[in-house]
Structure 1
């Protein structure tokens, strides 16, 4: 039985199929194995992929890029507002909902991020089905580890609207490990693997513990200030300076010319991953003048030296956070298109001199490959025996904390369920409250990783009423259970009176 794996990234999407016991990435109708996550709206049609990206020069206000940044977010979200500020396609708010304002012909319409994502995912489904020659819809979709439940729900719904039967959402680091069959090599005992992902708009580094085929995320660090586009922009600025030197014309403030130059810089950057030099030619860049420039890999690395250092620093920070050294890792897996940069690979290898670096599968395809392998496993009939397969388990995606008071009366937050905990999971905790009170409120919190301060946000409040006042403290037994689907069950019982409250929060996905 065939199945599909989809990696829907911020800048690009990739689809792989599982058939006859193996996974393969599928090229789209343009012959590319990776498709830009770009949608262009025209008067009578919508265009997805490379044609939409190239046509952005003339149709920027009706071309949507990085739609994943808005999926599942509201108008009050800082990340949504950052995307809104940089988007050439206008983003408007109605209440807390966000829409792209599209002007196609004489009509202006509002399009939801979900509808844009649906078009990209439809393109992935059509690409896979064209290769399979049949109407297969079973799929596994990957998500970043830091995705909230609302974002996962929005992505799942967009995939279902695109015609997929979503078997499971799995985290990108787990998919990367599955692509290399990591876990089978260590049937007993623990090992550690680092997953390094440098995508178009962000960098994420994840440390995982592998134990008998089970993956546990120890910690992950994401930096949205550096990505593949940062390298492209650095090269584009250099090319603009070269154009100014040659033609005495400054195009740095000409949005259309810079967009054309950025497209050329992007092609040159990709070429420099496999060649020692690349040519950037832009037809009629400014005032009818063509631009032709050769750039060497050494020059590119020099231009991006600060970005390369910035791309390495999160690894060092993560190792300090998890309390591990480079010697504690057995493998490093590279993901994301910009992880192809040879100098970056060398710098990572220098940090892990005796560790196997896995990049034989193209980094921009590896996550989709892992998703397809998981899809084949879940589809069940055509894949390997589950007993012989390394399976990624669902884990808690964010810390769940309880607010308490210490002996001095100050508020403290204690972690009940750490992020990365394999599900299902159960935690029992005893809370204490002043005996004079007739009611007590148990408050659970979760972190918002997008806020630098005041980042504990209320997740759940449970009030125990009609308690009998007494001299000693009330002891409240709190039992927290999270199932594999992400649903949360919380029960609170007063030890002395037996008063109890039970709350169940269904999984958003």
Structure 2
């Protein structure tokens, strides 16, 4: 019995195979265990992986990168608009769908993803020596139904039999056997994924072998590419210092520096220094520069701090501290960086940091293990429930007022939160008020919250006026699998309580 686990990231893809009770990542035809998620088109062929990435300097307008960011999105989506603005490959809208325009032909994002999945399938089958197609595919928590469907359809078009779509943090826990080997007892785990284009942090509760999401957040403003860009800018400054030429406005030269910076960044995860050499960078001039790990960490110090600060925000959102976390699981290629791991150990001094599996291999290994578990069950293909996970379809937010008197919104249930789920929130209101109103809003992730997005409110009246501080209103929100939301508000001083149930919150 054999099966495949595939993780398609924004910048890289990775496949693992499950056989004889264990899961292992397999190397591609170039000998690499991770394949760049890059597809280059020419008149006669499509090239996937490292060759496409290396040739991008010469074929930039016909090379597709980061296709995962466009899958399942439509024109008008803020993330899609950002992707289109940054893309060097022309993207057009036709009959309501976005497609790449390559040499006069339209290529859909699903077709690009299909080529990457085909490459992963070939890699896995070559390692297994047989035509195994049973596969589990990983998806981020913040993927909506359209994105999940697009990803699944691309995998099916590549000839894969998709057993299940599994969330990336759950796959990470499976890779380490968390909740499987010793299912009794309750613990909190933090899954930290720093990929090429985003940072995703998820706090999960494991109880009797079941996973529950406590809090999750994805930041698209930081990823491994940001570290590469920072190093590339440093190299451009060094070139200007040596040769008095500024290459920052030269796209071709900067892409060469980005390629060199990326190789150096990877080397600095294991070595104390790395050499950056670029042949004919500008006006026939070669560039050679040595960068130490200490220099790289100094250049990227603000980025490292941002990566750690994001953890504190998620813990605060979950109502937890670092001491409440039992284990931390590292995922994503950029989580290999020694400085980041050192800072995480300082934040969690008493917590086990799980990084024995290479971070960029954790998620596909977990997916392969899930595939093995599913194949071990009878009638797996007849159980439609196994192909989907009930999740909140929108962000559920609570409205508050900050010290300046401005409205602020806190996300309580992020889009994609598996259901059922429960959250606790303490709302503070001026002690001079005799009533407090809690307002709940729903919104698509990353979009601005408008007054029209309000779907429920609950009012606590006849409160005792206080002069020595604010009212503390404990709010407990429980969202069931059917999307209904039960809200209870309790005044901490008097015990006065109000409750409502919204039939379909999201």
User: Same fold, TM exceeding 0.5?
Assistant: yes
Are 1:58 and 2:53 counterparts? Answer: no
Conservation of the 8 A alpha-carbon contact between 1:214 and 1:392: no
Picking from 125, 136, 141, the partner of 1:140 is 136
SS in 1 for 2:449: coil
Aligned to 1:440: none
Separation in structure 1 between the aligned mates of residue 253 and residue 287 of structure 2, nearest angstrom: 11
| Residue 290 (structure 1) shift | 1.3
Which blocks of at least 5 consecutive residues in structure 1 are unaligned?
Answer: 383-390, 404-412, 426-443, 460-479, 491-501
SS in 1 for 2:13: strand
Aligned to 2:389: 394
Distance 1:455-1:12 versus aligned 2 partners, 3 A rule: farther
Moved more, 90-99 or 391-400: 391-400
Conservation of the 8 A alpha-carbon contact between 2:269 and 2:337: yes
Distance 1:169-1:397 versus aligned 2 partners, 3 A rule: farther
Picking from 120, 128, 147, the partner of 2:124 is 128
Separation in structure 2 between the aligned mates of residue 364 and residue 120 of structure 1, nearest angstrom: 17
Q: What is the correspondence of 1:213-252 to structure 2 with a 5 Å cutoff?
A: 213-252=209-248
| Residue 248 (structure 1) shift | 1.6
Aligned to 2:43: 43
Task: Kindly report the root-mean-square deviation, in angstroms, between the aligned alpha carbons of the 2 structures.
Answer: 3.0
Separation in structure 1 between the aligned mates of residue 417 and residue 33 of structure 2, nearest angstrom: 34
Aligned to 2:87: 87
Separation in structure 2 between the aligned mates of residue 315 and residue 222 of structure 1, nearest angstrom: 11
Which blocks of at least 5 consecutive residues in structure 2 are unaligned?
Answer: 379-385, 399-408, 422-439, 456-478, 486-502
| Residue 185 (structure 1) shift | 5.5
SS in 2 for 1:343: helix
Q: What is the correspondence of 1:444-463 to structure 2 with a 5 Å cutoff?
A: 447-454=443-450
Separation in structure 2 between the aligned mates of residue 401 and residue 69 of structure 1, nearest angstrom: 23
Aligned to 1:19: 19
| Residue 247 (structure 1) shift | 1.5
Conservation of the 8 A alpha-carbon contact between 1:446 and 1:456: no
Distance 1:399-1:77 versus aligned 2 partners, 3 A rule: closer
Moved more, 336-345 or 444-453: 444-453
| Residue 282 (structure 1) shift | 1.0
Distance 1:259-1:123 versus aligned 2 partners, 3 A rule: same
| Residue 189 (structure 1) shift | 2.6
Distance 1:177-1:450 versus aligned 2 partners, 3 A rule: same
| Residue 190 (structure 1) shift | 1.3
Distance 1:448-1:402 versus aligned 2 partners, 3 A rule: closer
Conservation of the 8 A alpha-carbon contact between 2:10 and 2:69: yes
Moved more, 131-140 or 91-100: 91-100
Separation in structure 1 between the aligned mates of residue 26 and residue 452 of structure 2, nearest angstrom: 42
Picking from 285, 288, 294, the partner of 1:289 is 285
Distance 1:401-1:365 versus aligned 2 partners, 3 A rule: closer
Separation in structure 2 between the aligned mates of residue 133 and residue 257 of structure 1, nearest angstrom: 42
SS in 1 for 2:17: strand
Separation in structure 2 between the aligned mates of residue 124 and residue 457 of structure 1, nearest angstrom: 42
Distance 1:320-1:186 versus aligned 2 partners, 3 A rule: farther
Aligned to 1:376: 372
Distance 1:377-1:355 versus aligned 2 partners, 3 A rule: same
Aligned to 2:99: 99
Query: TM-score, normalised on structure 2?
Result: 0.80
Separation in structure 1 between the aligned mates of residue 6 and residue 417 of structure 2, nearest angstrom: 25
Between the two proteins, the alignment pairs up a number of residues equal to 430
Separation in structure 2 between the aligned mates of residue 417 and residue 50 of structure 1, nearest angstrom: 39
Q: What is the correspondence of 1:67-86 to structure 2 with a 5 Å cutoff?
A: 67-86=67-86
| Residue 450 (structure 1) shift | 1.9
Moved more, 391-400 or 143-152: 391-400
| Residue 14 (structure 1) shift | 0.3
Separation in structure 1 between the aligned mates of residue 414 and residue 106 of structure 2, nearest angstrom: 40
| Residue 8 (structure 1) shift | 0.3
Picking from 328, 341, 344, the partner of 2:340 is 344
Q: What is the correspondence of 1:352-371 to structure 2 with a 5 Å cutoff?
A: 352-371=348-367
SS in 2 for 1:39: strand
Conservation of the 8 A alpha-carbon contact between 2:163 and 2:387: no
Aligned to 1:274: 270
Separation in structure 2 between the aligned mates of residue 44 and residue 445 of structure 1, nearest angstrom: 51
| Residue 81 (structure 1) shift | 0.4
Q: What is the correspondence of 1:404-415 to structure 2 with a 5 Å cutoff?
A: none
| Residue 316 (structure 1) shift | 0.4
Runs of 4+ residues over 2 Å off in structure 1: 184-189, 391-395, 397-403, 415-425, 444-447, 452-459, 480-483
Q: What is the correspondence of 1:198-217 to structure 2 with a 5 Å cutoff?
A: 198-217=194-213
SS in 2 for 1:57: coil
Query: TM-score, normalised on structure 1?
Result: 0.79
